[in-house]
Amino acid sequence: MTGLLPRTPRPPVGEGGAPRRRRVLDAALPAALRGGSSRAPGRGRGGVPRAGSRPDPVGGAAPLVLTGAVVAAQAVLLSLLSLVLPAMAAFVATSADPTNEGVGWGRAAGVGAALWLLGHGVPATVAGAPVTLVPLGVTALAVFAGWASARRSGTPRVPAWAAGVATYVALALVVALAAGVRGGGLLTAAVGAAVVGGLGTGLGLLARPERSGLPWRVRAGLARLPGPVAVGAAAGALVAAVLVLAAVVLTVVGIVAGTATVSDVVDALRMDVVGGAVLGVAQLGWLPDLVVWNLAWLAGPGFVVGEGTRFAVGGTVTGPLPAVPLLGALPTTDLGARGTLLSAALLLAVGALAGWYLHRRLDVVRARDVLVAVGTTAAVAGVLVAGLVRAAAGGIGPGRMAVVGGSWWAVGGCVALGALVGAALLALPAEPRVRSAVRAVSARTAAAVRDRAPVAVRPSTPDEDVAPRGAAVTEPVPVVDAGPRTEAEGSERQR
């Protein structure tokens, strides 16, 4: 029966365990990049189309540019209308209120546009007060819109992606000019739109079903990375993801525990149904910022909400806060020195989890591969967390409220240090090559110490008879008479 089945040839195994390294890379990459060959579909060697293969869906540079522009326009409209339409609906619902006399629909649309631009890093002005705290929820909405548009109708080619980013930036500048942004705000809008639009559309193109164009090139580029660097980067992302998950859990617990405080703030504001709904939707934009603040709280350094305040696991210093219901969920538990130890233990535990991941995934060829992977893990984890903390920092008004958020370098440094120590404590002793290298170094060091150790010589005293150098030392040897050994010798002694 088995003779009738064709025998599948085994893949060649190169030096360093190439198949296992490919499995490690596949585990660290998105699902859209797994599998497939190193050539684009329908292409032979040198990029020549195979006979009978299906033609590419896009036939030239112009359709690629057009496709990218359409994807970017869809992303901008989807995310912008998601904010402008609720603002206009609230305007219509409150148009009969005498206090809203003289407020037109254009002003309501401008509020939604200003919130959209704030999600891209452009500062806004509310009642004459500057607001620079980026609502990361709006940023996530824009990234999701770009991902969904590119995933649905994008073409995974570099020209299409570049055209999409350029179109996204151009449309963001149009929105900024319409909202009255001038000067340096336009440059901020361009940079923020390039980052948000490029990230969203890029992730969407990588998630396309076909494996040609951009995903193929990205996979080939990632395959050139050394194995320890690729696996270490995946472990660093794992550290950041676990800490974010822990911060989400802490945020939910804080909201539940602070329900009474939140209710008191809402009652003090005396808002109607429409106003309460608008405030609730607006607070969703800053909810991810609260998650990042809780991450900084878990890491140890904590965060501030206004100058002179401090919310940290080791100590809390509160002060007057704005009447915002979301701030009622801030962590106010003061654990003292015990809290600092708990934060260190958490970071070490997450680092140990990353070390376990390295031990399971890393194909070690040399002992230093583990060191490279551990260092990459710490660096990637620290950079990712520091970026999140920096994005969730800003100001929500003048004076003391101009300082809100955590210190990106302090939080990122603590996370990097915890990941480094925790991963090293688990990954290094678990690797046989590392243990062999440590034993060899210890043996060489001990031998060198023995060879260089001085010999202790006791100096002689004047009473001692010191023999000259090279002379033989002779001492009298006592003779014991043990009796005659022969009969002749005995008779001789008797005489």
pLDDT digits (tens, 9 = 90+) for 261-308: 888 888 888 877 777 777 888 899 999 999 999 999 999 999 999 999
**Could you read off the pLDDT of 319-362 as tens digits, one per residue?**
888 888 999 999 988 888 899 999 999 999 999 999 999 999 99
3-state SS string over the chain? CHHHCCCCCCCCCCCCCHHHHHHHHHHHCCHHHCCCCCCCCCECHHHCECCCCCCCCCCCHHHHHHHHHHHHHHHHHHHHHHHHHHHHHHHHHCCCCHHHCCCCHHHHHHHHHHHHHHCCCCCEEECCEEECCCCHHHHHHHHHHHHHHHHHHCCCCHHHHHHHHHHHHHHHHHHHHHCCCCCHHHHHHHHHHHHHHHHHHHHHHHCCCCCCCHHHHHHHHHHCCCHHHHHHHHHHHHHHHHHHHHHHHHHHHHHHHCHHHHHHHHHHHCCCHHHHHHHHHHHHHHHHHHHHHHHHHHHCCCEEECCCCEEECCEEECCCCCCCHHHHHCCCCCCHHHHHHHHHHHHHHHHHHHHHHHHHHCCCCCCHHHHHHHHHHHHHHHHHHHHHHHHCCECCCCHHHHCEEECHHHHHHHHHHHHHHHHHHHHHHHCHHHHHHHHHHHHHHHHHHHHCCCCCCCCCCCCCCCCCCCCCCCCCCCCCCCCCCCHHHHHHHHC
Residue 321 has phi, psi (to 5 degrees) of: -120, 155
**Could you read off the pLDDT of 373-429 as tens digits, one per residue?**
999 999 999 999 999 999 999 999 888 899 999 999 999 999 999 999 999 999 999
Q: Give residue 1's pLDDT band: very low, low, confident or very high (50, 70, 90).
A: very low
Residues 6 or more apart whose CB falls under 8 angstroms from that of 316 comprise 310, 331, 332, 333, 334
pTM over 0.85: no
Poorest-pLDDT segment among 71-80, 102-111, 170-179, 340-349? 102-111
10 Å Cβ neighbour count for 208?
19
**Could you read off the pLDDT of 151-205 as tens digits, one per residue?**
998 888 889 999 999 999 999 999 999 999 998 999 999 999 999 999 999 999 8
Give CA 455 to chain center in angstroms: 56
Residues 6 or more apart whose CB falls under 8 angstroms from that of 335 comprise 313, 314, 342
Alpha helices in 362-460 (DSSP H): 368-391, 408-430, 432-451
3-state SS string over 23-40? HHHHHHCCHHHCCCCCCC
Q: What's the confidence (pLDDT) of residue 452?
A: 76
**434 pLDDT more than 70:** yes
Cα(76)–Cα(81) distance, integer angstroms? 8
Q: What's the confidence (pLDDT) of residue 445?
A: 81
Cα(378)–Cα(308) distance, integer angstroms? 31
* Ranges assigned E (strand) in 269-418: 303-305, 310-312, 315-317, 404-406
The length of the chain in residues reads: 495
User: Closest by alpha carbon to 278, among 138, 88, 451, 415?
Assistant: 88
Residue with the two structure tokens 């900084």 = 296
